[in-house]
Amino acid sequence: MQQPAGRAGAILTIDLGAVRSNYRFLRSKLVSAQCGAAVKADSYGLGAARISEALFEEGCRHFFVAHLEEAIALRPHLPEAASIYVMHGSPVGYEAEFLEHGCIPVLNSCQQILAWRDLAQEKQQELPAIIQLDTGMSRMGMSPTEVQAWLADPGFIDGIQVQYLMSHLACAENQQSPVNQQQLQSFQALRRQLPQSRATLANSSGIFLGPDFHFDLVRPGAALYGLTPVAGEDNPLQPVAHLQGKIIQTREIAAGTGVGYSLTYRSTQVRRIATVAVGYADGWLRSLSNRGTVFIGDTPVPMVGNVSMDTVTLDVSDVALELLYPGALVDLISAKNTADQVAERAGTIGYEILTSLGLRYQRHYIDTPAQPA
């Protein structure tokens, strides 16, 4: 599986075959709901264009991004049959760009709804949208008070063709959390009061809460990219990201020698140190300093010293010398050391590890043939 590293300090290999297989696995959990995809933040750092193209081939037709800008960049990569939804809705004053670029807003407030309704009136045509309701996360969507304003005004959504009512779960990765049922009930109650529409509630973790949470469409992101959807359980998904850093040089240090900025590591005996060309500027988080473990072949290798902007230092004393040449590759993220595991040591979540992945990597995509539904 080793790729030539070329001039870059590290190689990021993205397995589109694994994304496809994860998509099929998630779809197999659904009875009648459709499986969409969250491809915001460049598909969690892995490349929205390539990933969306592969997902479209697998039958995915609903793509979610956060920003209008992301939707505009993605649009040329997807056929018209694909809907691209912008979860932040329109930036104030940019509503018409949604029509120009064939993207659909998620309307999150009275203000966004009124602006979309005005545009529909101006254009004399029905305009599609998703309307998001806040069912307890207090982040995005119409508040209960705003829903009251809707109910009080029969013309509130005139000219808006509501494709889905949407909400988002705050605690879905924790299957024991009572919040999941509370949000589900609140969503169902709101749906009963509002004009009849299709609905979408579940992210990746929400899919694993069972069919009550699936409604008409699910919106997984993390699970497509191999992150674990259920806290505390084995991950049924395939890893997608493989990050290999390149050794620049190695040295032997005597007992009592400090390593890296502020010399936060000091050897207690003779050690061999390898310097690898990946640092916090590449998204290899500084919080991994003296905490991370990476792999050379099957040998776990501890990170020693502070992570620098462009380098990280490893204690490679247990590694065979013939594996320690300049240009040799070290597995930073791999099946043995997943983004979730790296995240745990960095004190964060796998989402942040993936979305932090840097721009200096040489990127490779590997793929397997499509298996459309």
Ligand X SMILES: *Cc1c(COP(=O)(O)O)cnc(C)c1O
Closest distance to ligand X from the beta carbon of 59 (Å) = 18
Q: Which stretch binds ligand X (CB under 6 A): 45-53, 177-185, 214-222, 336-344?
A: 214-222
List 9, 47, 105, 221, residue binding ligand X (CB under 6 A):
221
How big is the chain by its Cα radius of gyration, in Å? 24
29 a catalytic residue: no
One-letter amino acid for residue 210 of the chain: G
Please give the residue whose beta carbon sits closest to ligand X in the complex: 221
38 binds ligand X (CB under 6 A): yes
* Catalytic annotation, pick one of 40, 85, 280, 351: 40
Taking CA atoms, 315 is separated from 292, 312, 339, in Å, by 11, 10, 21
62 binds ligand X (CB under 6 A): no
Scored b (16 or more CB within 10 A) or e, 31-69 reads eebbbbbbbbbbbbbbbbebbbbbbbbbebbbbbbbebe
Give Cβ neighbours of residue 95 (< 8 Å, ≥ 6 apart).
Answer: 105, 115, 116, 118, 119
135 binds ligand X (CB under 6 A): no
Closest distance to ligand X from the beta carbon of 339 (Å) = 12
Closest distance to ligand X from the beta carbon of 368 (Å) = 23
222 binds ligand X (CB under 6 A): yes
Closer CB to ligand X, 132 or 306, in the complex: 132
Scored b (16 or more CB within 10 A) or e, 252-276 reads ebeeebebbeeeebebeeebbbbbb
139 is in an annotated binding site: yes
Closest distance to ligand X from the beta carbon of 67 (Å) = 12
27 is in an annotated binding site: no
List 45, 89, 220, 239, residue binding ligand X (CB under 6 A):
220
Question: Pattern of binders to ligand X over 192-211, x per CB under 6 A?
Answer: -----------xxx------
226 binds ligand X (CB under 6 A): no
Closer CB to ligand X, 78 or 217, in the complex: 217
Q: How far apart are CA 9 and CA 248, in angstroms?
A: 8
By CB under 6 A, the residues from 148 to 187 that bind ligand X are 168
Taking CA atoms, 93 is separated from 45, 112, 123, 176, in Å, by 29, 10, 15, 42
Closer CB to ligand X, 168 or 242, in the complex: 168
CB 90 within 8 A of CB 77: no
Closest distance to ligand X from the beta carbon of 122 (Å) = 28
Question: Pattern of binders to ligand X over 82-121, x per CB under 6 A?
Answer: -----x----------------------------------
Q: How many residues bind ligand X (CB under 6 A)?
A: 12
Residues that bind ligand X (CB under 6 A): 38, 40, 87, 168, 203-205, 219-223
List the catalytic residues.
Answer: 40, 261
Provide the annotated binding site for substrate: 139, 309
